Structure 1
């Protein structure tokens, strides 16, 4: 396309577009118009920005920003969400408070919420001794809460009772079972025989006559004749593969001579009842929880008249 001699502008012959008029080392720029769709998009964003600044907080000032005609703010929205969450927690807490612990398993939805709350409470109050995974600490005598071996009982009622009253707390007559120290009571040979007998109950040692007699005379009254334990006095089972303080001969020997007795604080004096119920549900859910067993109802026995 030829340039118009009456105009100072120059037209690019190949594209028919006017030159801007700059030149850098022989390179010139064309004044190509913006695409229509781009221009309309730009105009729409400008209009949207104006509307947004009118409706929402936008312009910063000395102490605050413009509030906008809608009155919305991110802080207000957050406060509303927090309020709704608080109301939901209160509702759940009220429902948990109103239900007996032993009945929680009959309400799966509420039980799930209680377990979730108990998991959070466990991380704050219990991991120091039982560990983050509730695996306990055998060296220090903190029980593993994931297995199915329970010293004082593993149903929800028993777990809640242990949490509320604690274990071996001064000034309390609850959960005070203790093992006596047998230091100086046995000869080395008798002690070895007794250790072997205890190991035999769990299938890791050989039974022997001397050890069986010593066990029967000194240990069976609490741990049971067959090592089944006694939850009423907190005597652990000895006839399984789960050991509170180790299953080696040295560990058993140390526990016989100078037993170490663990303790747990009475959380009933520190935590509210709802938190205790949630902790109970969480500990019960870890894998070893037992069903609540009510005392069986004895059927009346019909009298039989014996004939002479």
Structure 2
């Protein structure tokens, strides 16, 4: 039975519906709320027409309605990036044409160079050297003060520009660790002895007999690159064997593997991919990581 009734407590008229003596109040939303709701519906319809808003499947795959004004967020982002690049162009050009020591001595220019170098490192170098430049097995830690090819600004710049063992660059840094075991230059026993001697250079061996035999082999086979005292040679990229820093591991097994099969890691010549300003910015960034000479 439907019979309208005014509620005695609230003073609101009911809808006329009653369930088991319970009446439903007729208490509609305020007009302003209703009008706001209608306005949002109209706004959504207008937005759908004007702006890119609705996905659909075309012959080329999924795409979306472009809107009558042709707005593209991607165009906005591209424009912002181009504006930033244009704003940096003059400074990066100055970095490209200014000698590295002069950039390092100019606080303003150095700040820009370090920012650009940090960004370029993350984009190009972090996959191998790590986001913190800590390196990993086969990839040098750039935070210490041990450099295979030298840690001066010019050395780092040359390494970045021309790479290490990069066949496409005639000026690449090049030297290899020979495969003494694989190529039959040394026997298995001789490889073991010279590895023991290399361990002794950093205080890691207690086998005096093997060290004594390995010393003679080292003098005949290894001093040309590593030096008589095993201190290495940065001009040849030969590591110092007397410290506790090992690129490929410093236990007996790792050293035997290195002596037996050699090492010839490759670093790209970034001069093929990056402009001179970015190369210099990277040089300065890497230089400041901890061990610049």
TM-score (norm 2): 0.68
CA distance in 2, matches of 1:272, 1:78: 26
**Which of 230, 234, 238 is equivalent to 2:233?**
230
Deviates more, 1:184-193 or 1:142-151: 184-193
User: Contact 1:92 / 1:113 at 8 angstroms: preserved in 2?
Assistant: no
**Which residue of structure 2 aligns with residue 23 of structure 1?**
18
Distance in 2 separating the partners of 1:189 and 1:46: 87
Q: Counterpart of 2:205?
A: 205
Say if 2:114 and 2:285, in contact at 8 Å, map to a contact too: no
Q: Is the aligned partner of 1:60 residue 2:49? A: yes
What SS class does the counterpart of residue 21 from structure 1 fall into?
strand
User: Size of the alignment, in residue pairs?
Assistant: 265
Write the distance in 1 (CA, Å) between the matches of 2:89 and 2:239.
35
Q: Is the counterpart of residue 109 in structure 1 residue 111 in structure 2? A: yes
Contact 1:151 1:236 in 2 (8 A): yes
Residues 52-81 of structure 1: per-residue CA shift (max 9 Å, x gap): 96xx964627987576xxxxx9x4676445
User: Which of the residues 276, 280, 283 maps onto 2:279?
Assistant: 276
> Does the CA-based 8 Å contact 1:122-1:279 persist in structure 2?
no
Q: TM-score, normalised by structure 1?
A: 0.66
Is the alpha carbon distance of 1:24 and 1:96 closer, same or farther for their aligned partners in structure 2, counting shifts above 3 Å?
Answer: same
Query: Given the superposition, is the C-alpha separation of residues 83 and 261 from structure 1 closer, same or farther in structure 2, using an over 3 Å criterion?
Result: same
CA contact (8 A) 1:130 1:143 kept: yes
The runs of 5 or more residues in structure 2 that have no matched partner are: 52-64
Q: Secondary structure at the match of 2:256?
A: helix
Establish whether residue 119 from structure 1 lines up as the match of residue 115 from structure 2: no
Match of 1:239 in 2: 242
Q: Aligned equivalents of 1:212 and 1:201: distance in 2?
A: 10
Q: Name the stretch that deviates more: 236-245 or 13-22.
A: 13-22
Larger Rg: 1
- Separation in 1, partners of 2:226, 2:287: 24
Q: Which residue of 1 aligns with 2:165?
A: 168
Gap change, CA 1:188 and 1:94, over 3 Å in 2: same
CA deviations over 1:187-219 (Å, ceiling 9, x no partner): 666555433322121121257555444434443
CA shift at 1:222, angstroms? 2.2
Separation (CA, whole Å) in 2 of partners of 1:265 and 1:66: 48
Question: Helix, strand or coil for the counterpart of 2:49?
Answer: coil
| CA drift at 1:232 | 0.8
User: In the alignment, is the contact (CA less than 8 A) between 2:4 and 2:17 conserved in 1?
Assistant: no
| Matching of residue 42 in structure 1 with residue 33 in structure 2 | yes
- RMSD (Å) for aligned C-alpha atoms: 4.1
**For the residues of structure 2 that align with 1:23 and 1:17, how far apart are their CA atoms?**
15
Give every structure 1 segment of 4 or more consecutive aligned residues whose post-TM-superposition deviation is greater than 6 Å. Answer: 46-50, 61-64
Contact 1:59 1:66 in 2 (8 A): no
Question: Of residues 142, 155, 158 in structure 2, which corresponds to 1:145?
Answer: 142
